[in-house]
């Protein structure tokens, strides 16, 4: 499978998951797991439910962004033992997560769920507010539009992870 085929497989799996489940973070991680089953355990997909709706439905950082960030971290972050032995090890992971952040910001202009909502729907939704959350979930097409964010987060993470694997 080529690099681009792996990326497309991951995107398709992420989009399929969000269209089925309407859970951005878990869907993004499921897509990433489809491309990297040896790196991303199923437990990571399960844990990502907690990141949905702007991390814990708190309207913070986008769940799809957070899932991609975690996958990049799995690939590039050092262990605590490695950092204790040589504090310079931490810089590699930090450089990579800041690169991922910058790529996401270049595409969406923000990492915040409500600000992305404003771009997609013309209105910010506060998912910590019950009425806003209910209105968001009832809005026709919200899942399809959020799927575009999942697909881009998955693609960005894959593009960062795959160059190292291809060497």
Over residues 58-81, the mean pLDDT reads 95
> What is the model's pLDDT at position 94?
93
At 61 the three-state DSSP class reads strand
* pTM (two decimals): 0.93
Return the minimum-mean-pLDDT range out of 22-36, 47-61, 138-152: 47-61
How far apart are alpha carbons 102 and 136 in whole angstroms?
A: 27
How far apart are alpha carbons 75 and 157 in whole angstroms?
A: 10
Looking at the predicted structure, is the pLDDT value of residue 167 above 50?
Answer: no
pLDDT in tens, 12-31: 999 999 999 999 999 999 99
Contacts of 5 (CB under 8 A, 6+ apart): none
């Amino acid at each position: 499978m080529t690099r681009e085929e792996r990326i497309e497989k991951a995107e398709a799996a992420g989009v399929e998951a969000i269209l089925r489940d309407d859970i951005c973070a878990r869907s993004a991680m499921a897509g990433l797991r489809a491309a990297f089953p040896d790196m991303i355990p199923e437990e990571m997909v399960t844990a990502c439910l907690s990141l949905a709706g702007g991390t814990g439905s708190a309207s913070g950082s986008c769940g799809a962004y957070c899932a991609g960030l975690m996958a990049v971290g799995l690939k590039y972050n050092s262990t605590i033992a490695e950092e204790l032995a040589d504090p310079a090890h931490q810089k590699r992971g930090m450089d990579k997560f800041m690169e991922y952040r910058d790529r996401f910001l270049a595409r969406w202009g923000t990492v915040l769920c409500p600000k992305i909502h404003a771009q997609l729907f013309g209105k910010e939704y506060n998912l910590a507010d019950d009425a806003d959350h209910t209105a968001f979930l009832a809005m026709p097409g919200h899942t399809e539009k959020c799927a575009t964010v999942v697909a881009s987060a998955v693609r960005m993470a894959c593009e960062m992870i795959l160059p190292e694997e291809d060497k």
